[in-house]
Amino acid sequence: MREMSRGQKSPLFEAARVATLDRMTSVVQQLPAVHQVFQPSLPTEPTAYWSQLNDLFGDAMWYRSLTVLARALAQYLLVFPKLPGRLHLPPEKERDTVKFVVTTLEALAWHLTHVQIPLSLDLQAGLDCCCLALQLPGPWSALSSPDMVTHACSLIHCVRFLLEAIVVQPGDQLLSPGRRTDTPKAAREDGVDSYTQSPEYITTACRMVAELVESLPSVLALGHKRNSNTPAFLTPVLRNIVVSLARLPLVNSYTRVPPLVWKLGWSPKPGGDFGTTFPEIPVEFLQEKEVFKEFIYRINTLGWTSRTQFEETWATLLGVLVTQPLVTEQEESPPEEDTERTQINVLAVQAITSLVLSAMTVPVAGNPAVSCLEQQPRNKPLKALDTRFGRKLSLIRGIVEQEIQAMVSKRENIATHHLYQAWDPVPSLSPASTGALISHDKLLLQTNPERELGSMSYKLGQVSIHSVWLGNNITPLREEEWDEEEEEEADVPAPSSPPTSPVNSRKHRAGVDIHSCSQFLLELYRRWILPSSSARRTPVILISEVVRSLLVVSDLFTERNQFEMMYQTLTELRRVHPSEDEILLQYLVPATCKAAAVLGMDKAVAEPVSRLLESTLRSSHLPSKIGALHGILYVLECDLLDDTAKQLIPVISDYLLSNLKGIAHCVGAHSQQHVLVMCATAFYLIENYPLDVGTDFSASIIQMCGVMLSGSEESTPSTIYHCVLRGLERLLLSEQLSRLDAESLVKLSVDRVNVHSPHRAMAALGLMLTCMYTGKEKTSPGRTSDPSPAAPDSESVIVAMERVSVLFDRVRKGFPCEARVVARILPQFLDDFFPPQDVMNKVIGEFLSNQQPYPQFMATVVYKVFQTLHSTGQSSMVRDWVMLSLSNFTQRTPVAMAMWSLSCFFVSASTSPWVSAILPHVISRMGKLEQVDVNLFCLVATDFYRHQIEEELDRRAFQSVFEVVAAPGNPYQRLLACLQTVHKVATC
């Protein structure tokens, strides 16, 4: 994958892909020609079909090859999004993929029915393969087709059977009897489908999927007591499979209907290709609060599958709003009815907000199985990463970032257990790559620091102000700049092609007219919260929900006048609504600031907004203060006018210093969200308003960050720890820190690299690397300030030696996961900071050390160091070091480890791609002394002898090393015999 990401071809990957797909087709061809539904919970009939399947599933070798192939296919599907188009799944293989996935799950279920418990690895392979295949449009569409209905039903039956076997305890049931789904009368009477001979298994499949969806909040919810005995690595993958299955046309319409609706007597006649499509639920049923809540749960969980379904759901939710009129003063209705009506309106607003927001999910709008909400970070790309050493840092820091994500990410957009599947849903806004998702390594330290790693839920600041401007071609005009703008417009013709945003303009996403939806809501909300007649009153709780909805939905606004209307509406609401309503205030303040920021914060807007923020920061209501800080982050994004900055920034900086100072030593006892957004605000101020906040503010914040990072795990939670470290790294790269502050960060990072917690140590490692590379950039020979470009700075080399000692110490004393991470970055790090001789001396010595508990990781370091030297024309140095070190290797005990070390050494030194390719296999044989290991040792040693030793004296020296330790029957004796054969062949 690394080769292909650089635009190179990988013959090994391409060959493995072809072989895997061919083997998959071969398995499918062994199956009966006509598929029948496998229902594991029912006995099979004694027919030729089931006899053939029983023979296949019962064949241990066939079953073993099936599960191994499932693992290989899962690995291929895992990297699918990163592959060039020519390596995607060929259309002719899509149906075979579906058949293979169905067969794999049938085989797993068959083994369970025959009391042959599958290995957890096999279960994981089958479910991963199923999950990843259903996420791809091609296989999912194939499974959706009428001619594969038996495969869909079979898959549903098997998933249900496997899920019950995994998560349901003996004596328990998936759902309580009261929660089970009743098939509607009309469906039972007229459920005949023209494509199937046995329509009962279709209705059974519908019922099963509906019950699976019903079970998601309990048995498949991490942290729920009914999920406590379910393996954590299977819960997300099972959830994802259930959602993908529930979106199939065969079952989707039925699954979206809450079971309570059937009990209330709704009995429509089903239609569609499968006889399972129902009309939209009548609004009168949704006026029942419990029914409505279940309906909302289903549309949020399953998303929508087409523009038509989106529009139908939109109309249904609006229907609920229309049929629940607002209360008027003259009406005398019972309080219970008022409360019920208000609650339904609040639910409807929440539901319609979620529906509109789902159009903002990427890469496939409306599909929660493969997508999550778009993000547009407020932080700008770091220019320092585009320098020579910045690019080197990006490479090495990207590796550490990948490992940190694998350790601590919430993985909310990742279903399978594979570590390196993480991605950030940030579409490009540049015209050249409109809508393309930016790869994670390109977003290094750019995501909002207050967002927990891997968290994909909606957060304030989800979409930056700059992205709103760029994505919708909005110009943030200020009144102070109007005259200047008008003069420019008179002289300059309008551009023929304004900047475009993701997905062909934000007014339409996935074919949905989002602009009309958001405009309708804006006008509706305006009428609600600013009633024209004093006789109408909107319940306070509904006003708060409407403002909250407006705050969220405004991420999808596409025109400047929408933000103008939003600002005017909220300003008027603030004027007429009681200021004591703190629940409303927590949404009203950030919403007002957001609209003001998009409009440009001219003086007329800035003064009232600044006063609002000042008064809210003085509030005793914590959620309101958090809302104000989010509002501050919005307004800071639009470069504040000098007068506004002078008025507002001192207030903000005083608030941050006074609040952080009192809690820095025990942030764990404080509101985590408050601490996170305070830190994010402080970092943004230092980076973007350094002159306004001054050096004293920066120094105080750095000092308090040091206190937070030095605290115990109890006093500083992980989320805050990572937020602070990443913020400091970014400040270092933005060159806004003084020399003293930068030096304090170096000491802090080295200290934190040595903590016991692996993920905290790795995060600190990222900061340490950033400190070193930014220091290297400043003292680089390329800088004109360096008086002696040719001479390396001895002091910087000594400092680098101290740092590399810390890294080697972490390899020796850390956990395996830490040792592996450090081993990944060491070769590049050593090459960037040290001359080759020092690198070789250190690496080979560490590889041979008896105190090294992870020689397998050091073997990869040796390999990469040697390959770097080969690629830079220094193969002679590799040969010399191998010859110099041979006697040290042969003295190692036991012989098995000595032989293994030599094998790794010779493979690493080889210039043959074929010999290099066997390194992973050689490493996996560590400590073994079987015949295959001896054969490998002789093979790679002979390769080195033949192709890299040219001088006869060197050849004799090579042989003499092994003659000293050769003894009858040991590997060295065998090697000498092989070398004699080489001589005989050479003289012939």
507-562: pLDDT as tens digits? 677 789 999 999 999 999 999 988 665 556 788 999 999 999 999 999 999 999 99
What confidence score (pLDDT) does residue 55 get? Answer: 95
Kind and range of the H or E run holding 487: helix 482-491
Cα separation, 722 vs 292, in Å, equals 40
| Cis peptide, bond prior to residue 894, ω within 30 of zero | yes
Q: How many Cα atoms occupy the beta-carbon half-sphere of 173 within 13 Å?
A: 8
What is the pLDDT at residue 328? Answer: 52
What's the rounded mean pLDDT across residues 376-389? 92
- The whole-number pLDDT of residue 408 equals 87
Average pLDDT score over residue span 235-256: 97
Q: How large is the average pLDDT for residues 45-63?
A: 93
Tell me, what's the pLDDT at 411? 81
Look at 205 and 85; give whichever has higher pLDDT.
Answer: 205
Confidence of residue 480 (pLDDT cuts 50, 70, 90): low
More confident residue, 474 or 588: 588
Residue 181 confidence (pLDDT): 62
**Would you say the C-alpha torsion 578, 580, 583, 584 has a positive or negative sign?**
positive
Closest CA to 698 of 651, 739, 642: 739
- In the three-class reduction of DSSP (H, G, I as helix; E, B as strand; rest coil), residue 95 is classed as helix
User: With 60 as the cut, is the pLDDT of residue 488 above it?
Assistant: no
Structure token pair of residue 330? 């003259």
Is 538 in contact with 528 (CB distance < 8 Å)? yes
- pLDDT, tens digit, 9 for 90 and up, residues 402-414: 889 888 888 887 8
Q: How far, in Å, CA of 763 to CA of 755, rounded?
A: 11
Q: Token pair 């298994």 is at which residue?
A: 201
Percent of the chain exceeding pLDDT 90 equals 68
Identify the CA nearest to 149 among candidates 89, 209, 198: 198
From the list 776, 907, 790, 881, the residue with the least C-alpha distance to 831 is: 776
- 3-state SS track over 596-663: HHHHCCCHHHHHHHHHHHHHHHCCCCHHHHHHHHHHHHHHHHCCCCHHHHHHHHHHHHHHHHHHHHHH
Side-chain half-sphere CA neighbours of 549 within 13 A: 30
Average pLDDT value over all residues in the chain:
88
* φ, ψ for residue 373, nearest 5 deg: -60, 135
From the CB of residue 189, how many other CB atoms can be counted at a distance below 10 Å? Answer: 10
Distance CA 496, CA 487 (A): 19
Model pLDDT for residues 789-844, shown as the tens digit of each residue = 334 556 767 777 888 899 999 999 999 999 999 999 999 999 998 899 989 999 99
H or E stretch at 556: none
Highest mean pLDDT among 176-180, 587-591, 925-929: 587-591
Q: With bands split at pLDDT 50, 70 and 90, how would you rate the model's confidence at 13? A: confident
Instruction: Report whether 889 contacts 971 (CB < 8 A).
Output: no
* pLDDT reported for residue 790: 39
C-beta separation of 32 from 51 below 8 A: no
Enumerate the β-bridge partners of residue 174.
Answer: none
Q: Assign 376 to helix, strand or coil.
A: strand
Identify which of 272-276, 395-399, 562-566, 947-951 has the greatest average pLDDT: 562-566
* Distance in angstroms (rounded) separating the CA atoms of residues 555 and 551: 8
- Amino acid 496: pLDDT: 35
- Mean pLDDT throughout 903-910? 96
Tell me the average pLDDT across 100-126: 95
455: left (phi over 0), alpha (psi -120 to 50) or beta: beta
Q: Average the pLDDT over each of 1-5, 244-248, 824-828 and give the range with the smallest value.
A: 1-5
Q: Does the pLDDT at position 779 exceed 60?
A: no
For residues 165, 166, 171, 174, the Cα torsion angle rounded to the nearest 10 degrees is -90
Q: What angle do CA 540, 542, 546 make, to 5 degrees?
A: 120
pLDDT of residue 969: 87
Give the CA angle between residues 447, 448, 452 to the nearest 5°: 95
Pair of tokens at residue 256: 């979206």
Highest mean pLDDT among 171-175, 483-487, 499-503, 666-670: 666-670
Across 252-265, average pLDDT: 94
- What are the residues whose beta carbons fall under 8 Å from the beta carbon of 533, sequence distance 6 or more? none
Helix axes 11-29, 60-78, angle to 10 degrees: 140
Quote the pLDDT of residue 500: 40
| Residue whose C-alpha is closest to residue 303's, from 388, 369, 347 | 369
Type of residue numbered 650: P
Q: Are 741 and 700 in contact (CB under 8 A)?
A: no
Distance CA 809, CA 814 (A): 8
Q: What digits encode the pLDDT tens for the residues 388-447?
A: 889 999 999 999 998 898 888 888 878 887 777 766 788 888 776 667 788 766 788 999
Tell me the pairing of strands 372-373 and 508-509. unpaired
DSSP state of 873: T
At 513, is the secondary structure helix, strand, or coil? Answer: strand
